[in-house]
Copies of this chain bind each other. A is one copy, B any other.
Amino acid sequence: MQQDSVDRHIAHWIKEIPDIDPLVEGVITRMQMLAKHLKQYRQVAAEAHGLEPYEFETLHMLGGCGPDYRATPTEIATWLQMSPAAITGRLDALERRGFVRRLPSPNDRRKVIVELTTEGQRIWREAGGEQGAEEERLLSALKPAEQHQLDAFLRQMLLLVDRPDLLPTPKDTTSSPGQARAKASSAM
């Protein structure tokens, strides 16, 4: 088995804190490094299309809203676990660049409906495809059977801390089939 940088990392810390479990430290550190790599790659992929990572993230939330690509600022803030104030700033910039549009809600004049423009859809798909390609590349290090095992292991761990509110649950107005919504993204 080939050594990676985490093996060396552990060899150091075990001297300073003798009571750490190398296996625990290894799994945790490797997961964090992989997450970090994916975060950095998202940055590269976004910038290759002239976007900041948080701009792509915002477009991505709208992209998940089905074929109308609409949501309100508050919904986006909830999905991203951010304050509505931060969303206002993001949308201002995206609107100036023509990727989203603010529409007044017909029913509720307090509300604003944010919509992905055609240009916004295009850039979202392009940048998103690049990210997916890197994710597939990482998984390709394992055989399909191993991928399934890995997924099952991670699910077992996640169940210990799973909080359904963290992955923006579909708002599933269970009656209107045309509007889906949920999002993942920036773990961390």
Knowing A6-B167, A135-B24 touch, does A155 contact B16 (C-beta < 8 A)?
no
Interface residues of A (CB under 8 A from B): 1-2, 4-9, 12-13, 15-17, 20-21, 23-39, 63-66, 128, 132, 135-139, 141-142, 144, 146-164, 166-167, 169-170, 180-182, 184, 186-188
Query: Which of A146, A149, A151, A186 is packed against the most chain B CB atoms within 10 Å?
Result: A151
Chain B residues, Cβ within 8 Å of A138:
28, 157, 160-161
Other-chain residue from B20, B148, B184 in contact with A132 (beta carbon distance below 8 A):
B20
- For A186, give the chain B residue with the smallest CB separation: B32
Min C-beta distance of A161 to chain B, whole Å: 5
